[in-house]
Amino acid sequence: MGEILTIKQAAKHLNMSESAVRNHLIEWGFFQMPGSRVWRVHRSNLDKIEKQGNNPRESTLFVSNKRGNLCHSTNGTAVTTLILQRQLAAELDARLKRA
């Protein structure tokens, strides 16, 4: 099936931190051998994720405004904007408090 990588090797291959890779162990197909504590993944699994367009190097969400594609903060036209997950959660909490 190809080369098998540890978390450290996968992080180096993806140019990410080890903690960022650990956040996606199950989602990216990491596994443990019985009786072992070491997580491993097939390199082909990581390559498939990159080819599908789910770039693991991206840590942002794409948010689209469907009402005329207007950006309300600048009154300009913006189809998509990048928002960090923490920022998105904070803005959602703030809006829910107002409602």
Looking at residue 43, its pLDDT comes to: 92
| pLDDT tens digits, one per residue of 41-82 | 999 988 887 777 655 555 433 344 444 554 555 555 544 455
Looking at residue 54, its pLDDT comes to: 54
Q: Which domain holds residue 89?
A: 60-98
Whole-number Å distance between alpha carbons of 47 and 14: 10
Tell me, yes or no, whether 39 and 66 share the same domain. no
76, 63 in Cβ contact below 8 A? no
Looking at residue 63, its pLDDT comes to: 42
Q: What total of structural domains would you count in the chain?
A: 2
Tell me, yes or no, whether 44 and 70 share the same domain. no
46, 14 in Cβ contact below 8 A? yes
Whole-number Å distance between alpha carbons of 70 and 48: 35
Tell me, yes or no, whether 21 and 39 share the same domain. yes
Tell me, yes or no, whether 11 and 45 share the same domain. yes
pTM (2 d.p.): 0.52
